[in-house]
Amino acid sequence: MNPAHRRLLVIIALLASAALAWLPQLDALATERVDAGLKRALITFATARSLNAVISTLQETTLSFQPLGVGLTIAPGQALDPVNDLIEQFSTLMLGASVSFGVQKVLISVGGNAWVSGALTLAALVLSWAMWRRLALPRAAGMVLAGLLILRFAVPLTILGSDLAFRQLLADDYRASQQGIANTAGELGRQAASAAQAGAPANESTLDRLKRAATLPDLRAYAERMQQAADKAVSDLVRLIVSFLMQTLVFPLLLMWLMLRLARLAIAQR
């Protein structure tokens, strides 16, 4: 491409960016995706806290059995101790993710401010006029324009890019893990209720004790179910942690680095 054609394309791109800076649709779409991410974070946080409540109840519950007059006490919730610790850390992460989404909304408002759009339009017009007239401008002019472009477009484009990557790469895994946490909470709640009913009443007759002894839960199988629930919950929580870290940290940083790299290359080519 000869220099004249390249200069014309750059001018067109500058004028187009100046026009796009005044359109609210980009900011509205980015805000919508941020709200969707914040809603996901809050729903996941609530589900994890419900699981935490069930586990806390199990950890505080001891089940006493007296088959044939022989005392037996178990604490089934102890196998879920690692899950409870992980949920506490997970809660901190979800708070950070929620704050991140809130900060993104503020940055969208800052970048969409009329003063930023006006400054970008003025800089784009001045630089386009100078390029059309083939006038030499200081290097700082290109850096100012690049900074204004990043301020105006980097945040919404980063949000949209991160959300797209999440929906294409992580959405199915997120939904499966979220449903897994909800299922685990429900299953543990049912197990706790079932086990609590196995305790012997104080005034139970000898015949009732014999019947209860015949129908006591298999304690080994019960403990195995608890351990399986703990392993499943840990797996789901770790996958949820990965999903939110990728969307709120890794993808945005990667896209921001890419845009800064492109801006530097554009300035170097002037």
Confidence tier at 35 by pLDDT (50, 70, 90): very high
Ranges of each domain in the chain: 3-268
Instruction: Look at 262 and 236; give whichever has higher pLDDT.
Output: 236
Mean pLDDT over residues 222-240, rounded?
Answer: 83
**Cα–Cα–Cα angle for 33, 38, 43, rounded to 5 degrees:** 125
* Residues 208-214: contacts with CB under 8 Å, at least 24 apart: 209/66, 209/67, 209/68, 209/69, 210/68, 212/65, 212/67, 213/67, 213/68
**Taking 80 as the threshold, does the pLDDT of residue 247 lie above it?**
yes
Question: What residues have CB less than 8 Å from 211, skipping those under 6 apart?
Answer: none
Model pTM greater than 0.85?
no
Confidence tier at 200 by pLDDT (50, 70, 90): very low
Question: What residues have CB less than 8 Å from 180, skipping those under 6 apart?
Answer: 232, 233, 235, 236
